[in-house]
Amino acid sequence: MRPRIGLLLVVLSLAGCGLPGPASPDAPTAGTTVPTPATPELPTPLVATSSPTPVPTPAPTGMPGPVPSGTPIPAGRPAARFGYVAKGMTAEVMAFVGADHLAYASDHLDFGVVSTLAFFSLVPTATGDLPMSSPGWRAWTSPVMDAVIARAHAAGTRVVLSLARFAWSAADVAASTSILASPAVRHHLADVVAAEVVRRGVDGVNVDFEPIPVGQAADFTDFVRRLRRDLDDEGPGYQLTVAVTGHYDSWDVAGLVARGGADALYLMGYEYAGSRSTVAFSTAPYGGPRYNVATTVQWLLRVVRPDQLIVGVPYYGHLWPTAGPAIHARTLGGGGDLPYPEALRLAQANGIRYDPVEQSAWSEWEVRDCSACALHWVQLYFDDAPSLAAKWAFIRDEHLLGTGVWRIEDEGTPGAIDAAMRAAFLPGTS
């Protein structure tokens, strides 16, 4: 998954000296039917030593073995493997909440349309232990997390632990490799995580190792299978999912969901565009000439069943300085990510357009560069309620297991996108 990124300095500068240009023309009808794009040749995948957006990982600071803390919460897990069945929903909805935003889940989250809540995250150390001196651990064992678990279970929603380990830098590749290459370390980590799930009274694990270091795919699959076995030994009904990026070549996706493995893959259906993009376009394009979400799903369905695939959507957009106002203009710099409420506010102030091929909201306007005393263009692409509804319709039409949200606190407060999710996955919701 992606770490939370603060508001752009460029946006802050816009508030101080930017002059929005004329509002853009009205968007085309949001409900425009978009045919599933033809499957293009799969582009060259990313390798384990590069990333579209480098992700910093906290230095390992763990202690050996789990140490109990806090009062365990009774699991109260429903008998069904996934919580959406018990809740009367038509598909799985997995929402990720950051360790630093648990209060949102405790006080504001619409649990009625969330079947699994994933705590993000705990980062295992290179020795296969949990990081008990980290801020993530303190949040995981905090009273507010107790309240989140209790509220989720009262609503029939599962709570799972997201176990994250990134390998986008040489140091992080080494740390991931030290875990995966050693049978003793990776099996120890699986044992520790399963024990922590039981101790904390939660309902499963989302494993987010991204990407898998070169040569470690089979070892990662072995780790997932060991964790599956450990969870099953603790009792029935624990959920186990594995996160993969759109460029999923470093994972053995078929092996991960084979009998004795994970229940499902969580496709991170975002970060197709970002700070390294030379052209401005949607971070989660449904279709179009570039590699996109629909194409990724089509390729994955060649090796996994539809009911083994969850497709995540982003509650954020990306803003670039561009060479001009035309859609998909050349970018002039990296820009940065904006959470949905800020993206929507800026787009509404400058005119929301709609790309009916990528199924994305976008906007363009001129701003003043205070340092150069000159005007230049910026473009913003993000998912709003209509574009998310289109993706959720695609997920339903393909009979996939469900969807996910990165990250749920970035919706601001439940509003238009929450209503669109309810209409998509709660029968009888108007």
Quote the tokens at residue 405. 């949200």
For the stretch 235-280, pLDDT in tens is 999 999 999 999 999 999 999 999 999 999 999 999 999 999 999 9
Whether 37 shows a pLDDT value over 50: the answer reads: no
For the stretch 329-360, pLDDT in tens is 999 988 999 999 999 999 999 999 999 999 99
User: For residue 162, which of 111, 209, 230, 217 has the smallest C-alpha distance?
Assistant: 209
Dihedral of alpha carbons 295, 301, 304, 305, sign: positive
User: For residue 167, which of 182, 181, 158, 177 has the smallest C-alpha distance?
Assistant: 177
For the stretch 220-237, pLDDT in tens is 999 999 999 999 999 999
Whether 374 shows a pLDDT value over 90: the answer reads: no
Helix (H, G, I), strand (E, B) or coil at 242: strand
| pLDDT value of position 329 | 98
User: For residue 108, which of 118, 123, 97 has the smallest C-alpha distance?
Assistant: 97
Distance CA 242, CA 359 (A): 26
Multiple choice CATH, 9-19+48-425, 3.20.20.80, 3.40.50.720, 3.40.640.10, 3.10.20.30: 3.20.20.80
Q: What is the DSSP letter of 347?
A: H
Give the position of tokens 């904390």.
200
pTM score of the predicted model: 0.85
Quote the tokens at residue 201. 């009274």
